[in-house]
């Protein structure tokens, strides 16, 4: 018997996130063994008059391919998949493998080559600007384990998070969008963090279910050379199959001039991928009312209520600050009391303290008002 929550999720992805119309070609890309999710999406796309196309991947197969893929192989993959992507009006990706560390032993130079020769032309240069897209994880035993929950409890949590009222969230975001649009200087203060930068002239974008599920963030980007100070992230982050902890970045004139972590050498190797990797491409504020702690999954962790993420690498075209890179690494700082607290200040005025918005016009974004 089909889970009605899955039917509802497919409806949100197709009707709300991607707004599939009659005649739209829609690429559904599934990583992991989730035929029930693919089937629900296909049925909903057909109901909308769309034309589904499906690509299935397995993490272990992807690892085997990446281990020895040379530049010529990657260029052929990219050329074919970019041509396919150019024919799509919409893109829906569901990712849910059993092992988050499946790529941990793929050599770093292979992952860098894949990011620059495949990820950049297919996704950053084609999918992002040319399609209506949404990306999400799918609940697995591994995700439940990472969250410290039973599989049943995690599935309940997952569908609560993913199927909330995103239209309501979008309306609640507008006062913060307006305020950020009027803001010049931002200051972030927490334990191990004293950071300042300008967002003047950079567009502010609300994310309420249009591109990521789960969703719940408002993002912009710093003026590229304006970032000064230091930032210590207090959540672990998984990137290129490796778990990084206690990441500390120091900035001068926008550039990361010093970076340390539990794996400092590996961290700096990623930040040396290209010139843009040591500049910031995104600043975002997380507001999802159901997510309160990290579970080593970026799509969830970056939406944590009371968090920010400050992202080395490529800037989105929608909030473009001039920075281009083959990487885009969302790393999260939580400022709720359980994680040490902290403040966000706009032009010297405190707008959020210890994870809660303190300005009356922004109270609608506090968790109890979004559920």
Residues listed for the chain: 371
Q: How many angstroms separate the Cα of 216 from the Cα of each of 205, 212, 324?
A: 11, 9, 24
Lowest-confidence range among 48-52, 74-78, 103-107, 185-189?
103-107
- Enter the DSSP assignment of 14: I
Ordered structural domains, the chain, with CATH? 4-162 (3.40.1830.10), 166-370 (no CATH)
What is the model's pLDDT at position 1? Answer: 65
Question: CA 156, CA 270: separation in Å to the nearest integer?
Answer: 36
- Cα separation of 231 and 331, whole Å? 10
Over 80: is that where the pLDDT of 98 sits? no
DSSP of 239-284: ETTEEE-S-EEEEETTEEEEEE-TTHHHHHHHHTSSGGGGSEEEEE
Q: What is the pTM of this model?
A: 0.79
Calpha distance 371→365 (Å, rounded): 10
Over the chain, what is the mean pLDDT? 94
DSSP H or E segment with residue 230:
strand 228-232
pLDDT higher than 80, residue 94: yes
Q: What's the Rg (C-alpha) of the chain?
A: 20
Element (H, E) at 132: strand 132-137
More confident residue, 104 or 224: 224
Predicted pLDDT of residue 51:
98
The answer to whether 318 touches 324, Cβ cutoff 8 Å, is no
Q: How far is 123 from 131, CA to CA, in rounded Å?
A: 10
Q: Quote the CA–CA distance of 360 and 117 in Å, as a whole number.
A: 47
Q: Summarize the confidence of residues 73-82 as an average pLDDT.
A: 97
Q: DSSP characters for 133-196?
A: EEEEE---HHHHHHHT--HHHHHHHHHHHHTS-HHHHHHHHHHHHHHHHT--EEEEEETTEEEE
Regarding beta strands 332-334 and 356-357, do their DSSP bridges make them parallel or antiparallel, or are they unpaired? unpaired
């Amino acid at each position: 018997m089909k889970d009605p929550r899955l039917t509802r999720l497919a409806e949100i992805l197709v009707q709300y996130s991607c707004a599939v119309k009659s005649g739209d070609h829609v690429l559904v890309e599934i990583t992991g063994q989730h035929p029930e999710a693919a089937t629900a999406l296909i049925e909903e796309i057909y109901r909308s008059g769309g034309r589904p196309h499906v690509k299935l991947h397995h993490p272990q197969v992807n690892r085997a391919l990446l281990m020895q893929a040379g530049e010529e192989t990657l260029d052929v993959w990219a050329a074919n998949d970019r041509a396919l992507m150019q024919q799509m009006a919409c893109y829906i990706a569901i990712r849910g493998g059993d092992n988050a560390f499946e790529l941990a032993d793929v050599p770093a130079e292979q992952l860098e080559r894949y990011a620059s020769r495949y990820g950049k032309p297919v996704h950053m240069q084609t999918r992002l600007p040319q399609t209506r897209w949404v990306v999400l994880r799918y609940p697995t035993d591994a995700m439940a384990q990472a969250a410290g929950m039973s599989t049943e409890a995690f599935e309940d949590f997952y569908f609560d998070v993913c199927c909330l009222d995103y239209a309501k969230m979008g309306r609640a975001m507008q006062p913060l969008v307006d305020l950020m649009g009027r803001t010049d200087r931002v200051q972030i203060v927490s334990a191990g963090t004293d950071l300042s930068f300008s967002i003047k002239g950079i567009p502010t974008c609300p994310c309420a279910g249009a591109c990521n599920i789960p969703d719940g963030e408002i993002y912009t980007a710093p003026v590229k050379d304006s970032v000064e100070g230091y930032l210590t992230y207090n959540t672990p982050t998984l990137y290129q199959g490796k778990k990084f902890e206690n990441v500390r970045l120091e900035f001068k004139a926008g550039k990361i001039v010093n970076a340390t972590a539990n794996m400092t050498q590996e961290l700096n190797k990623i930040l040396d991928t290209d010139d843009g990797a040591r500049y910031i491409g995104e600043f975002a504020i997380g507001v999802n009312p159901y997510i309160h702690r990290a579970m080593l999954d970026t799509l969830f962790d970056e939406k944590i209520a009371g968090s920010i993420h400050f992202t080395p690498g490529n800037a989105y075209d929608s909030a473009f600050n001039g920075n281009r890179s083959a990487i885009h690494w969302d790393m999260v700082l939580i400022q709720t009391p359980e994680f040490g607290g902290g403040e966000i200040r706009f032009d010297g005025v405190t707008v959020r303290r210890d994870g809660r918005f303190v300005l009356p016009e922004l109270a609608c974004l506090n968790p109890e008002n979004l559920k």
